[in-house]
A and B are shown apart, each in its own frame.
Chain A
Amino acid sequence: MSPNLTLVIISGVLVASGVYLLLERSLTRILVGVLLASNGVNVMFLVASGAAGGAPIIGITPKQEMSDPLPQAMVLTAIVITLGTTAYLLALAYRSFQLNGHDEVADDVEDAAIRLLAEADRASDSYDADTQGQPDEVGRGTADEEGERVATPDPETDDAPEAEGGADAEPPGEAAERAEQHQFTEETR
């Protein structure tokens, strides 16, 4: 079987542009990337099915001239799945736009926090020595114990506000806006 070169090139170009768009931050572009890549793969199935032929129905096309129906059935399934995915991603992008005013894929907050912790050269929270206090029945340290607890003599505590100031580059207006928006979505829910 010699594959159809045009189909191979089309499929390659589609997948390549799809991958490029997948690497973008904006969800809408990612969506277009997904569409292109999956169409590229669908074309690839046509390559896999071999030479083109007539409709694979007994009595209409002689056996030797039929095209292979199985890959086309697979492509149909794949198309349906892509349709569902597209609808879902659109909804996700719209929701993200509703919540944040943009549809960009955000970094993970916890990861960023741990990275900042490392940059500020602070020990991890699992490194604590202040466990002399005993829990009472409800597990709440009593007020006395809270008072007795020796404030950790941490020379770096003074640095903390500095680090905070460094990270807190966000203008206050934006934060308020976000809080407002949050409230708004809470109400609409």
Chain B
Amino acid sequence: MNNFVPLPVLLPLLGAGLALALNRRPAAQRVVSTVVMVAVVAVSSALLFWSDRIGPIVLWVGAWPQPLGIALVADRLSSLMLVVSSVVTLLVLLFSMGADEEERKRETPVSIFHPTLLVLSAGVSNAFLAGDLFNLFVGFEMLLFASYVLLTLGGTGERVRAGTTYVVVSLLSSTLFLIALAATYAATGTVNLAQLALRLPELPDGIQLVLQLLLLTVFFIKAAVFPMSAWLPDSYPTAPAPVTAVFAGLLTKVGVYAVIRTQTVLFPDSQLTGLLLWAALATMIIGILGAIAQSEIKRMLSFTLVSHIGYMIFGIGLASVSGYAGAIFYTAHHITIQTTLFLVTGLIETRGGSTSLNKLGGLAAASPVLGILFFVPAMNLAGIPPLSGFIGKVGLLEAGAEAGSFLPYLLVAGSVATSLLTLYAMAKVWNRAFWRPRSAEPDLLELVAGGDADGASTETATTTQATERRPLPRPMVATAAVCVLLGVGITVVSGPLYGLTQRAATDIVGGQSYVRAVLPEGIR
């Protein structure tokens, strides 16, 4: 059973190699990547089942005497994240294969897209399973490298511009991560999470604080928490729809996961919960205000993505069992919903020829199915009862009210306001893209911005003209529908799922069970 733990990392890596070797045979590549992702989903589900039944599963790779070597740990939290992320990756893969031949060649060329997506999946799994900080770093690098390639697929001017910002910001965060690693190693002599949990409390408070701040800064950049969030809405919207969808679903959540680990295993008696709560509030409010100002759906969704990261940080900042349970549930919910919305936006782009609210119109009449596919996850994101977004938010609000002091109540108010503003943003998309008639007026934004916007958007203009108002490929619609149903399915099973996240939260609070599972002999 322990030997299943590395499979979510190994299988996609092997699959990536195989898919790359088969780059002249797209059909075989598709089979390879689909089979691999299905296998990863199966293995992750098995890990989730076992870890829920019998506790964390630990594998010391290479079977060196502990604590030498690298530990891989699958407890409830990481295996739940694994399941959700692999399911979402599989769906995105199927979605990209559903595009018709011409579009696929242009947007997601199989020979590059499939191997890279598999490497991304391996990196994400590695980050979730990592039992030491350095392995976490390697996981981050794997997924980042894959994301660099995916973000600049095709190398058009717009993507190179967006990719540059993204790569430089990611490099900076990686450098900071390395500095944090060096500092941690110098202070404690280990990078194993469980060992660090035992050794860190012995350090002077000042050094602990420096290490914690370093790590949190790194993970806040990855998770796009304000004020380190500006890179995200800048870089995500230009990528092809399946790529943006998988980025939005997974990459920031890996950062959130790392924050959870830092706050529970490494620094359980954190002094920084106040800071986390303030960061959460700022992320929510500023993110959603940014979303309202946008008139481009992908950019608006990127801003709501930033804003809703705030909810998860809110739960983490509460540092209580109910807070963590809410945060974990919200993460699982948000991965599916955000991915679904970006996939549906891809469909909108195919159908309407654009994702700009100024150019779209009349989609509800033109394509009622698309209307339903957008409406359900949009309401879910805004937290309309009885959908899972509502349940996650109520969980977080209750956890906030439980804490009972001023700051949590402020956060409760902030999250209600954010939820309302999300509804406003989604209603704006709905009213303008779906309900109003299609208008032939020139884009006001382009009028005002003049030649500046024109010159730089030539690229997008030419591509949109080519895709003007095509019918939707059925497989894409079907995959998007499955995503929507998955989101609704989370609502249906939210009782058991919330129970699971509560157990996961009980596990991680205090970090004791994690340490006991990894180092049963209590080596310091």
Chain A positions near chain B (C-beta within 8 angstroms): 3, 18, 22, 27, 30, 34, 37-38, 41, 44-45, 47-49, 70-71, 74, 77-78, 81, 84-85, 88-89, 92, 95-96, 99-100, 105-106, 108-114, 116-117, 120, 122, 124-126, 130-131, 133-141, 145-146, 160, 163-170, 175, 178-179, 182, 189
Contact = CB atoms under 8 A, between A and B. Distances in A.
B459 A167 contact: no
A122 B358 CA distance: 15
B234 interface: yes
A167 B148 CA distance: 32
A182 B453 contact: no
Nearest to B453: A113
Contact of B437 (A95, A122, A139, A168): A139
B172 A22 contact: yes
B358 A116 contact: no
Dominant secondary structure of chain B at its interface with chain A? helix
B371 to A, nearest CB: 11
Q: From A112, A135, A160, name the one whose CB has the most chain B CB atoms within 10 angstroms.
A: A135
B408 interface: no
B295 interface: yes
B365 A139 contact: yes
Given A41-B182, A44-B179, A135-B438, 7 more contacts: A44-B178, A77-B138, A89-B171, A92-B163, A135-B437, A170-B451, A178-B455
Given A88-B167, A92-B163, A141-B362, A117 B437 contact: no
Contacts of B27: none
Contact of A140 (B160, B162, B362): B362
B473 interface: no
B456 interface: yes
Given A92-B164, A135-B366, A139-B438, A109 B178 contact: no
B299 interface: yes
B439 interface: yes
Q: Top 6 nearest A-B pairs by Cβ distance?
A: A139-B362, A139-B366, A135-B362, A48-B186, A168-B451, A141-B437
A92 B172 CA distance: 17
Given A88-B167, A167-B449, A125 B455 contact: no
Interface of B: 134, 138, 141, 145, 148, 152, 154-157, 160-165, 167-168, 171-172, 174-175, 178-179, 181-183, 185-186, 191, 234, 293-296, 299, 357-358, 361-367, 428, 432, 435-440, 443-453, 455-459
A109 B453 contact: yes
A12 to B, nearest CB: 11
A47 B357 CA distance: 54
A47 B186 contact: yes
A70 B155 contact: no
Contacts of A89: 167, 171
A163 B450 CA distance: 8
A81 B445 CA distance: 42
B365 A135 contact: yes
A53 to B, nearest CB: 15
7 contacts: A34-B168, A48-B185, A49-B185, A113-B448, A116-B449, A122-B444, A130-B439
Contacts of B186: 3, 47-48
Contact of B452 (A27, A37, A71, A168): A168
Contacts of A49: 185
Contact of A105 (B156, B165, B367): B165
